[in-house]
Structure 1
Amino acid sequence: MSGRRAVLLSLALLDSSALYFVSYDGVVNNNSLQQEAILTHKGHQYATWYTASRHAVIGRRPVGGSRWETVTLPHRLSVDDSHNVISLGISPQDDTVHVALDTHNTRLHYLRSTPGLAGGGQPWRAIAFGQVRRTLGEVELGAMTYPRFVVTPEGRLQFSYRTGGSGNGVNELAEYSGGTWRKLGAWTSATGSYTGPNGVVSGTRNMYLHGLTYDRRGRLHAAFTWREGNAGVLCARGGLTNHDTGYVYSDDRGRAFHLVRGADGGWTKREVPVAPNHTQRSKIVLGRLESAYLVLPGGWIVAASKASGWTDWRLVFDGAGLRAFGEVSVDASRLGTQGILSVQYQQT
């Protein structure tokens, strides 16, 4: 993929009867809050989904290959809720595959493979994942939502999750190193006062993450929006209490986060001149030359170059032929290393 155009290299059918239902305007197999549903590690690409029987499935293939091996995990989706996604993580330290799934203000369902499975030399079998646990290793997280995995520059696997609930919750981190998980704790607060445009005050809130990503220099970036606990801040009934877009970063692997402001306290905002014509969310990823790719709902792709200061946004791929439902999942790891953008989606 170049910054000028995107060429379709191949299409692969993962499951002709994958589970499909619409909940909260989304589907459980591809949702922007997943991190990750598809990723690449040591010459293999991994993808995950729920099949028609509601079982969780993980597939893998050699990068560039056409044959997917699949394993069916010993867990079935418990409820028709698009929050209850499957998220994958791989630890570079010991090549274990980690799976977090099926949670929305409930205790976690979690599996971890035997060491070395993601190294490629072991048989791809369900027995390697063992039984489902309701804890993160030996760590009890309690009721939680939005499981995400990220990898630090040193190769430590981190786990992001929200405790509490909508309008009154906090984001927390845990870390896997040396074969053991430990909690790092909360890095947001649910308390404090927010005054709505109508003068009504809300005393609790939660942060909804748009993404949590390490860059090549080791800085952890987080983009988000707030949701208030007091619906009275709405100027009209029937809406959501979300407000503002925010950004923070951490240079100590998530122990402390910092606000960013320009000299004038503001940000540069630029509208992408390609309308998504959709209410669902997009995903932005950077290529090897730091071209930015915005993957819109339905699999449409627009791009901008670093040379232009990311101002020359243009359509580089028309997703109409994919027949993709809404939000899609993106393999950012493969784009960064090979310049190939893999997109996982569910057809309508």
Structure 2
Amino acid sequence: MVKKSICSGIVLSLIISTLFWINGSEAMASNTKHDPISKHYPIEDTYIRNGADSNENYRLANEIGVKDNSSSTGRIGYLKYNLSSYKSDVANKATLRLFVRSKTTGSIINNIFGIANEVWDAGTMTWSNGSPYHDVASNLYPSIQDITTNIEGGYLLDRQIITAAGTYYEYDVTDYVNSELSSATDKIIAFLLTSENDLNVNYDSMESGSNKPELILEHPATAHTKVKKLSDTILAQDGLTFADVKFGFFPNVSGGSIVTYNGYQYTVYYNSDRHVCVARRASGSEAWEIAELTDYLFTSIDTHNYATLGISSDGVIHLTFDHHANDLHYRSSQQGIANNPAQVQWSSSLFGPVTNQLSGNTITDLSYPTFVQAPNGNLLFMYRTRGSGNGWRFLATYDSASHGWTLNGKMIHSSGTYVGSYTGTSTQRGNYPLGFVFDQNGRLHMPFIWRETPDAMSNHDINYMYSDNHGLTWKNISGTVVSQTGSTYATVESPGIIVSPIPQRRGLVNSNFNTADADAAGRIHFMSQHMPDDTPDAAASNEVVRRYFHYWIDENGNVNKTNLHAQGSNSPVLLADNGDAYFVYISKSYTYTKIEDRKFGQGKLRIARATAASNYTDWNIIYTDNSLPGLAEGLRIDADRFKKDGIISVFVQENPKTMLGEATKVRIIEYGIKQPFGQQNKLKT
């Protein structure tokens, strides 16, 4: 059956303001003309102390003391800042810079938390008079989870190893500050300092003189590339969400695809009737046609079981759906319908029956299917079999001339020996690609990570292989063959495949999204999320403080990375014609809407940019969409639309508003990067 959906968008205006002196802050120029830095000092700071001094107030002390409470002499530090002088609603980076005046001998791990409670009075607080965090003060560590989830909205932001006195230590608090800037009405931001060790660290306080605690905000540079919101259409009113959660609530943004082909845009999603829906529209149109495939009922509550599509050059639309170690669910359209879309009446009757076979070959135990269109018009199908701790990566190829599939076989095997700090010695594992992408020379790139067990703390190492024959032969970065698909396979012991060694316990994320792209020079770019190098290892998942890192491999095989000082959804990297990189993501949220017993974030859709001229070191947030409601923490990007038209087309889904499991809107939002901004896309008011 066919449905139509038409929606008007909303005009978004951006106000860019300058920084000036007010409320204990100052603006100062950085090395670039359009990148001012504002330095802010506390309006209040103090610490509380257990033991014999539990009734003492330290508001006027020259230090902020921090110590674990295992010997009942704990100390907890507090800082409060007023950022009303900062007129933007976003900072490229926010750094809390603290000077250690004295410490006990040894290496001491300190933690910084953002705390929602901002009404505490530094002049009256003591350990024993009922401070906001008194309930956990007697056992603050290792019960970090008490603060991060239960106690008045406290969030672990960063961790540092304190090794010396007489020097500054910097804590990255960017995401929390941005969340407060965009959502708080008073722009008062509070932090809490703790220690994981029963050893003293004393930071200079606001009373100390020259080494006051500094909160330094780097303002986004004035964007040379302008962003214009072109359209915001409702694809569906009835997007599926889950009430009983398993790996998340939103199967439609946990994977999948949105593709532009021959002047039409296509995507696939699950509706609230638990049917697969295939949607299309002419590029730039606001009218969607939806074919609801009612002959298959999606019964899972597992967000891994996303739906995805690919299009081959014979005009066939290929669909897979509902997989997490399941038999293949595949169906395809009639030939030619994507090659002559205007002459085709969109209907579910265009699609064949569901099958577990590709050209007579049964596929079982399948997860994470991905379609990639090859430069010759064929379609590659990548997927994993078996489990996360013992998985194999396979390739199948659809020939657009013969209209049939070939199962090429395994590319990556689970065998080999690895010794990790979290799992010890293991002899099997799974692999998780960070993306598959062809460059303009026809080379196929695949960055990926390893996972030793179903526990994400066992993730390690960013690896890379490339293929010059559409995935049949894979080479490492030096050009040495490491896999012949179907006969010999890449393993954890393959030489030269690691391009960024990352041990276990570093918060490395395994992504189901395609985060990779290639620029005009054939350089591969991809995003990964993990902990910065200077952050101590995490003993458990609640100690992980990860950030986005942009990786790119240059023409000489050199691997480069840049910390974006942000975290949030898994999202693709997009490259413009001039090689500049654009990154789209849903920011991490520290404000929540509570539905029943679950919390849903209010993260913002942001676009960041880095220039090729800077070697991709000048990442700037160039756009924040403040007009959107609360969004699920995931999105899809139409890379084809961006490459052709310079338009970032984003698939998002709204959070539930009243009850778990209710249907929510699926939106397709378009932002113009290149000028002119796609004249057929006029945002209606």
Instruction: Tell me if both proteins adopt one fold, taking TM over 0.5 as the criterion.
Output: yes
Q: Residues 40-84 of structure 1: CA distance to partner in whole angstroms, max 9, x if unpaired?
A: 000100121111100010111111111111101132212111011
114-123 vs 257-266, greater mean Cα deviation: 257-266
Q: Residues 210-251 of structure 1: CA distance to partner in whole angstroms, max 9, x if unpaired?
A: 11111111111112111003x8xxxxxx76311122222111
151-160 vs 307-316, greater mean Cα deviation: 307-316
Identity rate of aligned residues, in percent? 34
Q: Structure 1 counterpart of 2:404, which letter?
A: T
Q: Residues 227-286 of structure 1: CA distance to partner in whole angstroms, max 9, x if unpaired?
A: 003x8xxxxxx763111222221111111222226899973221124x13x3x4232122
Of 133, 147, 167, which aligns to 2:369? Answer: 147
Q: For 1:266 and 1:338, how far apart are their aligned partners in 2?
A: 30
Of 608, 612, 623, which aligns to 1:317? Answer: 623
Matched, 1:43 2:267: no
Q: For 1:3 and 1:56, how far apart are their aligned partners in 2?
A: 41
Q: Structure 1 counterpart of 2:572, which letter?
A: K
Q: Structure 2 counterpart of 1:187, which letter?
A: M
Q: For 1:267 and 1:246, how far apart are their aligned partners in 2?
A: 11
Q: Residues 138-161 of structure 1: CA distance to partner in whole angstroms, max 9, x if unpaired?
A: 221221101100011111111000
Of 236, 246, 250, which aligns to 1:27? Answer: 250
Q: For 1:48 and 1:189, how far apart are their aligned partners in 2?
A: 30
Shift of 1:289: 2.5
Q: Is the 8 A contact 1:288 1:337 kept in 2?
A: no
Of 292, 303, 313, which aligns to 1:82? Answer: 303
297-306 vs 261-270, greater mean Cα deviation: 261-270
Bigger Cα Rg: 2
Q: Is the 8 A contact 2:292 2:348 kept in 1?
A: yes
Seen in structure 2, the aligned counterparts of structure 1 residues 97 and 198 have a Cα distance that, compared at 3 Å, is closer
Matched, 1:327 2:634: yes
Q: Residues 76-125 of structure 1: CA distance to partner in whole angstroms, max 9, x if unpaired?
A: 21211101111110001x10000000111010111100001112122111
Q: For 1:253 and 1:314, how far apart are their aligned partners in 2?
A: 35
Q: In structure 2, what is the equivalent of residue 248 of structure 1?
A: 465
Q: For 1:293 and 1:221, how far apart are their aligned partners in 2?
A: 19
Matched, 1:4 2:296: no
Q: For 1:210 and 1:110, how far apart are their aligned partners in 2?
A: 23
Alignment of 1:146-185 (within 5 A): 146-177=368-399, 178-185=402-409
Matched, 1:102 2:322: yes
Alignment of 1:1-348 (within 5 A): 4-21=225-242, 22-25=245-248, 27-31=250-254, 33-34=255-256, 37-73=257-293, 74-92=295-313, 94-119=314-339, 120=341, 121-177=343-399, 178-197=402-421, 200-229=424-453, 240-260=457-477, 267-273=559-565, 275-276=566-567, 278=568, 280-297=569-586, 298-322=604-628, 323-348=630-655
Give the gaps of 5 or more residues in structure 1.
232-237
298-307 vs 259-268, greater mean Cα deviation: 259-268
Give the gaps of 5 or more residues in structure 2.
1-222, 479-498, 500-553, 587-603, 656-685
| 1:336 partner SS | helix
Q: For 2:264 and 2:623, how far apart are their aligned partners in 1?
A: 25
| 2:231 partner SS | coil
Q: Structure 2 counterpart of 1:289, which letter?
A: N
Seen in structure 2, the aligned counterparts of structure 1 residues 271 and 140 have a Cα distance that, compared at 3 Å, is same
Q: In structure 2, what is the equivalent of residue 235 of structure 1?
A: none
Shift of 1:7: 1.4
Q: Structure 1 counterpart of 2:276, which letter?
A: A
Off by >4 Å, runs of 4+ in structure 1: 261-266
Q: For 1:4 and 1:224, how far apart are their aligned partners in 2?
A: 31
Q: For 1:63 and 1:266, how far apart are their aligned partners in 2?
A: 38
Q: Structure 2 counterpart of 1:172, which letter?
A: F
Q: Structure 1 counterpart of 2:415, which letter?
A: T
Q: CA RMSD in A?
A: 2.1
Q: For 1:167 and 1:187, how far apart are their aligned partners in 2?
A: 17
Q: For 1:243 and 1:114, how far apart are their aligned partners in 2?
A: 43
Q: In structure 1, what is the equivalent of residue 589 of structure 2?
A: none
| 1:182 partner SS | strand
Q: For 1:78 and 1:223, how far apart are their aligned partners in 2?
A: 32
Q: Structure 2 counterpart of 1:165, which letter?
A: G
Q: For 1:133 and 1:239, how far apart are their aligned partners in 2?
A: 32
- Which TM-score applies when normalising by structure 1? 0.90
| 1:337 partner SS | helix
Seen in structure 2, the aligned counterparts of structure 1 residues 305 and 83 have a Cα distance that, compared at 3 Å, is same
| 1:240 partner SS | helix
Q: Is the 8 A contact 1:299 1:328 kept in 2?
A: no
Q: Is the 8 A contact 1:3 1:304 kept in 2?
A: no
Q: For 1:198 and 1:49, how far apart are their aligned partners in 2?
A: 37
The number of aligned residues is 333
